[in-house]
Amino acid sequence: MKQYKYAFFDIDNTLTDNKTNTIPSKLRDALDLLEKEGFRLSIATGRSYDGIPEAVRNYYPWFSYIAYNGQLVYDRKGKVLRELYIPNASAKEAMRLADQTGTTLEIKTSRGIYRYNDLTPAYEKTYRFFNMEPWQKGIYREDDKVIALMASRENNESYDDFMKIDHLEVFPTEHNYADINLKGMSKYEGIRFLKEYYGFDRYLAFGDSSNDYEMLKNADISVAMRDADQQLKKVCTMVTDGAGDNGIYHAVLKLFEKQ
Tens of each residue's pLDDT in the chain, 259 residues: 345 699 999 999 999 998 888 999 999 999 999 999 999 999 999 998 988 999 999 999 999 999 999 999 999 999 999 999 999 999 999 999 999 999 999 999 988 899 999 999 999 999 988 888 899 999 999 999 999 999 999 988 999 999 999 999 998 988 899 999 999 999 999 999 999 999 999 999 999 998 999 999 999 999 999 999 888 999 999 999 999 999 999 999 999 875 4
The structural domains of the chain, ordered by start, are 5-84+185-255 (3.40.50.1000), 88-182 (3.30.1240.10)
Which SS3 state, helix, strand or coil, does residue 53 take? coil
Which SS3 state, helix, strand or coil, does residue 213 take? helix
d(CA 180, CA 207): 18
d(CA 125, CA 214): 26
- Pinpoint the alpha helices (H) of the chain: 27-36, 54-57, 88-101, 121-130, 160-163, 187-198, 213-217, 230-234, 247-255
Instruction: Tell how far CA 93 is from the center of its chain.
Output: 24
- Give pTM, 2 decimals: 0.85
pLDDT for 258: 57
d(CA 21, CA 14): 12
Q: Helix count (H) and strand count (E) of the chain? A: 9, 13
Within 13 Å and on the Cβ side, how many CA atoms surround 181? 22
Strand-strand pairing, 238-239 and 221-224? parallel
Find out whether 93 and 204 touch, Cβ atoms under 8 Å. no
